[in-house]
């Protein structure tokens, strides 16, 4: 598709006024503290897989409210404590079957692929983590589940799972706890941005074509799903426009970027019809860290840089780990 947004020179200086609740920090500190109090020790079980040259394990850890979340751990056979990369998944996908993602482990990292609660049935090989919470009326998908109440909104649970995934990974005996980074593309990119802002023990964040940023502009202008789920909801619930965007302000990647003090590598695709480039730059241009870069893929859509970008990430992270 053609360019979907502003010229690149305008994007590089784009700093919109995005609403930030006065109790944003208090809300998230309380949310995370409550779930940490309810957490139990993570468990690991060997995965059934024909892979022999890497260790593949099934991790169960405590997420939001102490609820059990699943993840695959894939790592080299090594006695040393290794740096780790926690990866979050794109919209509608699950962690799949063991051994599907081997790149980070093949590069010498402990790779942890977190399942996204309630998802895993739109593409890929499935997920294994339910979301036991109900919701008021919502559109098909996940974007409007609990959207009238910040305490009940779906992404409160997902972002908390992501923060506690880092806690769990740092406790594993084969992980160097000081060198745990986060990554993800699309929804996973938005989750990684939140996790790195909310968990100060994250070493670095690699946020690829991140979804869940600058909600107001994204809902009003993005031509494709999933943002159109919110558009459809508001077309029916005409009286709920301001309450909906008030809820979303607690989950906006721009507000998390303002609190991201760790090294950060973003990517953006200028022909993206799912995540507007301006929404990515709205967050990137607010990153608090002095060590922040963005890779621009001028002629790509939402696929972004794919494996070429992973090579870029691996080099960038390796430089910072020394």
Per domain, the residue ranges of the chain are 8-321
Mean pLDDT of 254-282: 98
pLDDT band at 1 (very low <50, low <70, confident <90, very high): low
Does the active-site annotation cover 272?
yes
Map tokens 């780790």 to a residue.
84
Mean pLDDT of 22-44: 98
Mean pLDDT of 9-25: 98
Q: At what angle do helices 241-248 and 227-236 cross, to 10 degrees?
A: 150
- Least confident range from 123-137, 139-153, 243-257, 258-272: namely 123-137
How confident is the model at residue 245, as a pLDDT?
98
Q: Among candidates 287, 252, 278, 294, which has minimal Cα distance to 16?
A: 278
CA–CA separation, 1 and 252 (whole Å): 26
CA–CA separation, 183 and 210 (whole Å): 10
End-to-end CA distance of the chain: 40
* Half-sphere exposure for 291 (CA within 13 Å, toward CB): 12
Instruction: Name the token pair of 273.
Output: 């019809």
Mean pLDDT of 30-48: 98
- For the beta carbon of residue 102, count every other beta carbon within 10 angstroms: 14
- For the beta carbon of residue 246, count every other beta carbon within 10 angstroms: 14
Instruction: Name the token pair of 170.
Output: 């740092």
CA–CA separation, 217 and 215 (whole Å): 6
Cβ-contact 89, 70 below 8 angstroms: no
Q: CB neighbours of 121 closer than 8 A, spacing ≥ 6?
A: 92, 94, 127
Give 149-159 pLDDT, tens digit per residue: 999 999 999 99
| Predicted TM-score of the model (pTM) | 0.97
Domain 8-321 classified CATH 3.40.50.1820? yes
Instruction: Name the token pair of 313.
Output: 């990430």
Q: Among candidates 107, 163, 166, 167, which has minimal Cα distance to 321?
A: 107
Q: Among residues of the chain, what percentage have pLDDT more than 70?
A: 100
pLDDT band at 134 (very low <50, low <70, confident <90, very high): confident
How confident is the model at residue 4, as a pLDDT?
78
- Going from the C-alpha of 214 to that of each of 78, 227, 247, the distances in angstroms are 42, 11, 13
DSSP class of residue 132 equals: -
Q: Among candidates 286, 279, 282, which has minimal Cα distance to 258?
A: 286
CA–CA separation, 16 and 52 (whole Å): 50
Which is the catalytic residue, given 181, 186, 192, 249?
186
Alpha helices in 48-145, H assignment, sequence order: 103-106
How confident is the model at residue 135, as a pLDDT?
84
Does the active-site annotation cover 302?
yes
How confident is the model at residue 212, as a pLDDT?
98
Give 59-113 pLDDT, tens digit per residue: 999 999 999 999 999 999 999 999 999 999 999 999 999 999 999 999 999 999 9
pLDDT band at 3 (very low <50, low <70, confident <90, very high): confident
Which is the catalytic residue, given 62, 272, 278, 279?
272
Map tokens 């607010």 to a residue.
286
Report, in this order, helix, strand and coil percent for the chain, each rounded to 5.
35, 20, 45
Q: Among candidates 68, 67, 49, 50, which has minimal Cα distance to 59?
A: 68
DSSP class of residue 4 equals: -
Residue 2 has pLDDT above 90, yes or no: no
How confident is the model at residue 137, as a pLDDT?
84
């Amino acid at each position: 598709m053609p360019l979907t947004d502003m010229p690149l020179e305008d994007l590089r200086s784009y700093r919109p006024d995005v609403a930030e609740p006065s109790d944003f920090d208090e809300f998230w500190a309380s949310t995370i503290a409550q779930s940490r109090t309810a957490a139990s020790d993570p468990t690991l079980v060997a995965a059934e897989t024909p892979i022999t040259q890497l260790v593949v394990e099934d991790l169960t850890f405590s997420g939001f409210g102490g609820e059990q979340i699943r993840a695959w751990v894939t790592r080299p056979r090594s006695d040393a404590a290794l740096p780790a990369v926690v990866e979050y998944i794109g919209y509608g996908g699950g962690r799949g079957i063991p051994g599907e993602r081997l790149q980070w482990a093949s590069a010498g990292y402990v790779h942890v692929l977190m399942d996204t609660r309630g998802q895993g049935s739109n593409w890929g090989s499935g997920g294994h983590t339910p979301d036991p919470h109900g919701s008021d009326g919502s559109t098909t998908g996940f974007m409007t589940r609990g959207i009238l109440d910040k305490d009940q909104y779906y992404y409160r649970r997902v972002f908390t799972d992501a923060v506690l995934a880092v806690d769990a990974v740092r406790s594993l005996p084969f992980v160097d706890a000081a060198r745990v980074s986060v990554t993800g593309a699309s929804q996973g990119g938005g989750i990684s941005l939140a996790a790195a802002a909310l968990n100060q023990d994250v070493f670095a964040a690699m946020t690829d074509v991140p979804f869940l940023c600058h909600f107001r502009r994204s809902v009003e202008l993005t031509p494709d799903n999933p943002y159109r789920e919110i558009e459809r909801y508001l077309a029916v619930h005409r009286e709920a426009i301001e309450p909906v965007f008030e809820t979303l302000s607690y989950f906006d990647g721009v507000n998390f970027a303002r609190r991201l003090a760790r090294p950060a590598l973003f990517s953006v695709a200028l022909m993206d019809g799912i995540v507007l480039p301006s929404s990515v730059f709205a967050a990137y241009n607010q990153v608090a860290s002095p060590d922040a870069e963005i890779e621009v893929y001028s002629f790509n859509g939402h696929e972004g840089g794919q494996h070429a970008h992973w090579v870029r990430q691996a080099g960038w992270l390796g430089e910072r780990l020394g």
